[in-house]
Amino acid sequence: MINDMLLPYKKMVSQGEAANTNLILEESCEEIGPASARKRRQEAYRVRQEAALFQKNLPLPDHPCNGDEDYYPNKIGNYSKGLPHNQLGEVDLNAYNALIRALSTGDPEDFESIPLGGVTKLTNPQAAYAFEMAGPDCNHLSMIAAPAFSSAWNASEMAEVYWQALTRDVAFTDYDTDPLTLAAASDLSGFSDFRGPKVNGVVTTGTLFRGNTPGDLVGPYISQFLWKDIPFGATTIVQRYRTTVAGDDHLTSYQEWLNIQNGLAPAAPNQFDSTPRYIRNGRDMGEWVHRDFSCQGTLTACLILLGFGPAAVNTTNPYLRSVTQVGFATFSAPHILDFAARAARAALETAWFQKWLVHRRLRPEAFGGCVHNLLTGTADYPINPELLNSQAVSAVFEKFGTYLLPQAYAEGSPTHPAYPAGHATYTGAGVTMLKAFFKESFVIPNPVVASADGLSLLPYSGPPLTVGGELNKLAANVALGRDTAGIHWRSDGSEGLKLGEAVAIGILQDYRNTYNEHFSGFSLTKFDGTTIII
């Protein structure tokens, strides 16, 4: 096409009209390479078409849900924050039906007709319909049904977030000795369907509030990628962050809780610590995931990993074997950074499809209102007795005078459904990208652990910490940090990580055949411990 555009100029030069050196140079420059422009155009089309056909030909998945929306006419098992509610915190059914109608039609005008209960708007439900140009369509990935409202599984997850709220100010280094974390481990061990990690069938202070993926139980609670200095161009970022003060808990009074369910502004803001700290407890981790941007965790991990040099690069990288070349636009920093970041948006679209169009799971803060109304005798809800009889519920009431779930954020949870967690989904995608480019068995040099006051980093001594294990731990820290804040359930995170992983794998599959190098494929270990080659 460029040559066709130059034809008039060629004619002018041949006639001796307006000839100049620049035009002569343009005319005499010939592209080189194994393919002509026309053939290259066809090859580019073929690569894109084959990637699209690969995704199109995958089996259509089922999208199971827990059935709560049909089972409870008052919609107590489903997300409704921001809509108008009655005094029990039950949603106005006309408003809820307007939401369902908009979600069913996808018509932008229908979303503008949803009645709100206050000033807080719903968060981006139309993202559920967006299309992506690489990787799987958001509709084309599936996940298991969320725990049902009345199930023992749901009861155990609520008990866990109660305990996470009660232990926000306990330093991770004190988990083995603090009475609250000892009580939490003991109480959670008694639930019949608690799915967090255990040792010999028992929750311990060493497994408490940790993830289930390989490496999660090795070493300190917090990943090295959230503690070590970040190489950032010509400077270095020290990972000391602003956090909130001890005891800064919200939504513990009933009227405050009800106002927030209706979408009113919080009565009081968060109170911040004047001293930046390394992440040393659940409150710090909760505040980190309150203020982070979507690819922040994986971006910083990527920069740290790049700083380790070639020894940390995955052995499948073709430039490790080259005697004349190094990577740059492919298989080096620009490539890896791009993939670590680009996965976040696709993962969010996939999460938003599941949140709004499939599950619409209620947030733990809303469930806390149901617990409170049941135990104070103002309502009758089918909450599993394992939760009602747990030490977690009585400990919360003893401290706050209500059975509501104390929130770390003044505004409580975001205004979109719980399942899956957006943070978990995009971090699962980003971590998967990093596993594809870096050597998971590489041992992280000079590991550290934060002091109990968060003011310093101390040398860590213990089992070696590998890149793969610490990336898994990073994903768990981000996912469970949102639980510690009171805004998500464990399964939101654990299943969100898997969903994000599937998004990243799909993107890697689409790009697999776009490279010129002799490349054997991306190799990585999934969150379930299995190794795949793409």
Q: Hey, how many other C-beta atoms are within 10 angstroms of the C-beta on 533?
A: 10
* Nearest partner of 359 among 367, 351, 368, judged by Cα: 351
pLDDT at site 28: 57
Q: Which two tokens stand for residue 276?
A: 């930046």
**Nearest Cα to 114, choosing from 370, 361, 255, 123?**
123
**CA gap 181, 276 in Å, rounded:** 25
One-letter identity of residue 85: H
What the block records as the tokens of 170 is: 């306990």
- Which residues, 6+ apart, have CB-to-CB distance to 366 below 8 Å? 79, 80, 81, 89, 261
Question: Are 80 and 413 a contacting pair, CB within 8 Å?
Answer: no
Tell me the backbone φ, ψ of residue 144, rounded to 5 degrees: -70, 160
Task: Tell me how far CA of residue 103 lies from CA of 99, 128, 347, 354, in angstroms.
Answer: 6, 9, 20, 12
pTM of the entire predicted model: 0.94
E strand or H helix at 497, and its extent? helix 490-511
Task: Report the Cα–Cα distance between both ends of the chain, in Å, rounded.
Answer: 35
**Which domains, from first to last, does the chain contain?**
1-28 (no CATH), 68-154+218-361+411-533 (1.10.606.10)
DSSP 9-39: HHHHHHTTSS--HHHHHHHH----SSS-HHH
How far apart are the C-alpha atoms of 534 and 68, rounded to whole Å? 38
Average pLDDT for runs of 10 along the chain of length 534? 39 44 54 90 93 93 97 98 98 98 98 98 98 95 98 98 98 98 98 98 98 97 98 98 98 98 97 98 98 97 98 97 97 97 97 98 98 98 98 98 98 98 98 98 98 98 98 98 98 98 97 95 97 96
Strand 523-525 vs strand 230-232: parallel, antiparallel, or unpaired? unpaired
Per-residue pLDDT of 293-338, as tens digits, reads 999 999 999 999 999 999 999 999 999 999 999 999 999 999 999 9
Distance, CA of 29 to chain centre: 49
Tokens of 456: 């310093």
Q: Which are the catalytic amino acids?
A: 416, 423
* Radius of gyration over every alpha carbon of the chain, rounded to an integer in angstroms: 26
In this structure, are residues 469 and 434 in contact, taking their beta carbons and an 8 Å threshold? no
Contacts of 163 (CB under 8 A, 6+ apart): 180, 183, 184, 187, 188, 209, 392
3-state secondary structure of 479: helix
Amino acid identity of residue 139, one-letter, is N
Which pLDDT belongs to residue 31?
A: 80
* Structure confidence at residue 27 (pLDDT): 58
SS3 199: strand
Distance, in Å, from the CA atom of 252 to the CA atom of 68, rounded to the nearest integer, reads 26
Distances, alpha carbon 392 to alpha carbons 131, 286, 420, in Å: 43, 20, 24
